[in-house]
């Protein structure tokens, strides 16, 4: 896997939000009623590594067969951030986009993507029931996207220091001695993105119920302040925050880091290199990301796009991509039916069994369920998190 691939993940998963979600919905547009013959072309805006045709690694190919079967030649435009994805879709000229939870609602609100007729996708029924109506692609019961991949932000730990998996995120949030008798100061890491405030909020949900946090992405001033205070305690423990998967892996090898929030991607790679690491989702639960394929409102190749939706759910894509990326398929059957390389065990390692304990990344906006302007919006998360890391 390439350096670039993880880098974009870093930037994007971290919840890139500019425009707050405008209330209200774009006028319902006519959706497709039947699939005609393919138009011969399909352009996809995707994260690097998301649409592979065996060029990076011959074993990972889920495009060639699609092209042979449908005659739709796939071209990929790689985007590095959610902002870039939104910008490219606003610009137009693309058919599909693999949008994360922090971009998808902006695309819907901006009227850049069209409602989907899921009846035209035979394999829609195989999508994980818990994702079918997910709020990051379904608005007022209208579907705007087909689930692609998702994954949790797990707690990675060193098995020599932790003979038993840590049961709480407190190992990265509170000063304490780890099971090997040494303090955790200087030996833990945290994510170098403002969305990490949500991890702190989730920890507080379990440990300070009097704050009344119900959703770590919707924090009022008091709840937000408590989360920042917790992060200031964490600042003393963390020597360096991680933002790049490969730098984090290096820190586990050379810097004596033994516990950190992480992605299954790093855990799998480090394990494959023989390092004593494992991952767990502690009792407080975890945050996570979920991506959705969406169709541009002015797409010139909608028939190819619908064929891709079907391909995305029914082919080896779900299975092999989840291996490639350390993610979880949106079609649970892809873990077990042998359509690709993924196994039930692999899916569980990547987080499938813990779906209910994952709160998926969404963009914090001012107008939240606590009321109009009641919540602290994302841009303040950014500037305040910079302050916390700078020692404020």
Partner 1 sequence: MTVPAPAILPARGAGDRIGALFWRHPRLLLALLLAPPLAWLGVVYLGSLAALLLQSFYSIDEFSGVIVREFTLKTYGELFRAQNLDIILRTLAMSAAVTLACAVIAFPIAYFAARYARGRWKALFYLGVMLPLWSSYLVKVYAWKLILAKEGILGWAAERTGTTFLIDAALALPGVGGNSLSTSLLGTFIVFVYVWLPYMILPLQAALERVPLSMLEAAADLGASRAQVFRTVILPLALPGAIAGSIFTFSLTMGDYIIPQIVGTSARFIGLAVYQLQGTAGNLPLAAAFAVVPILVMLVYLTVARRKGAFDAL
Please give the residue ranges that form the binding site for partner 1 (CB under 8 A): 11-12, 14-20, 22, 81, 83, 185-186, 192-194, 238-241, 243-244, 247, 250-251, 253-256, 365-367, 373, 377-379, 382-384, 386-387, 389-392
5 in Cβ contact with 78 (< 8 Å)? no
- Smallest gap from Cβ 27 to partner 1, in A, equals 21
- Smallest gap from Cβ 241 to partner 1, in A, equals 4
Output 15 or 329, the one with its CB closest to partner 1. 15
The owner of tokens 């035209």 is 120
- Smallest gap from Cβ 359 to partner 1, in A, equals 19
Output 5 or 74, the one with its CB closest to partner 1. 5
Measure the CA–CA gap between 98 and 96, rounded to whole angstroms.
7
Torsion sign (Cα): 73, 79, 82, 83: negative
DSSP bridge partners of 43: 75
Query: What is the distance, to the nearest Å, from the Cα of residue 18 to the centroid of all Cα atoms in its chain?
Result: 17
- Smallest gap from Cβ 291 to partner 1, in A, equals 17
- Smallest gap from Cβ 15 to partner 1, in A, equals 7
Output 36 or 390, the one with its CB closest to partner 1. 390
Output 190 or 323, the one with its CB closest to partner 1. 190
- Smallest gap from Cβ 19 to partner 1, in A, equals 6
> Which H or E run contains 378?
helix 378-389
Measure the CA–CA gap between 195 and 379, rounded to whole angstroms.
11
Output 319 or 362, the one with its CB closest to partner 1. 362
Output 130 or 185, the one with its CB closest to partner 1. 185
Crossing angle of helices 378-389 and 196-207, rounded to 10°: 90
User: Residue 383 contacts by C-beta under 8 Å, 6 or more apart in sequence?
Assistant: none
């Amino acid at each position: 896997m390439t350096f670039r691939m993880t880098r974009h993940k870093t930037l994007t998963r971290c919840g890139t939000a500019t425009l707050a979600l405008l209330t209200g919905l774009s006028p319902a547009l006519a959706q497709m009623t039947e699939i005609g013959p393919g138009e011969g072309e399909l352009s996809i805006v995707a994260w690097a590594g998301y649409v592979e045709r065996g060029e990076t690694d011959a074993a990972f190919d889920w495009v060639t067969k699609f092209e042979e079967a449908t005659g739709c030649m796939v071209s990929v435009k790689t985007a590095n951030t959610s902002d870039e994805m939104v910008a490219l879709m606003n610009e137009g000229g693309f058919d599909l986009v693999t949008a994360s939870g922090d971009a998808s609602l902006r695309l819907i609100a901006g009227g850049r993507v069209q409602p989907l007729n899921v009846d035209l996708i035979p394999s829609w029924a195989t999508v994980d029931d818990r994702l079918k109506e997910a709020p990051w692609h379904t608005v007022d019961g209208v579907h705007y996207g087909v689930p692609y991949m998702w994954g949790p932000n797990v707690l990675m730990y060193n098995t020599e220091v932790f003979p038993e998996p840590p049961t709480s995120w407190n190992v990265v949030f509170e000063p304490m001695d780890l099971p090997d008798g040494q303090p955790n100061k200087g030996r833990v890491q945290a994510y170098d993105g403002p969305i990490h405030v949500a991890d702190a909020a989730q920890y507080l949900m379990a440990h300070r119920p009097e704050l009344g946090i119900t959703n770590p992405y919707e924090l009022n001033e008091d709840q937000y302040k408590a989360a920042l205070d917790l992060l200031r305690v964490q600042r003393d423990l963390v020597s360096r925050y991680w933002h790049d998967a490969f730098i984090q892996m290096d820190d586990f090898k050379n810097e004596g880091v033994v516990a950190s929030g992480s992605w299954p991607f790093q855990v799998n790679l480090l394990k494959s290199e023989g390092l004593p690491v494992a991952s767990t989702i502690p009792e407080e639960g975890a945050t996570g990301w979920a991506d959705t394929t969406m169709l541009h409102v002015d797409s010139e190749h909608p028939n190819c796009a619908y064929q891709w939706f079907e391909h995305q759910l029914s082919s080896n894509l779900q299975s092999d991509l989840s291996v490639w990326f350390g993610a979880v398929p949106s079609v649970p059957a892809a873990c077990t039916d042998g359509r690709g390389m993924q196994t039930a065990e692999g899916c569980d390692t990547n987080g499938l069994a813990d779906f209910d304990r994952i709160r998926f990344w969404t963009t914090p906006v001012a107008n939240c369920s606590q009321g109009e302007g009641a919540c602290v919006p994302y841009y303040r998360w950014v500037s305040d998190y910079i302050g916390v890391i700078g020692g404020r």
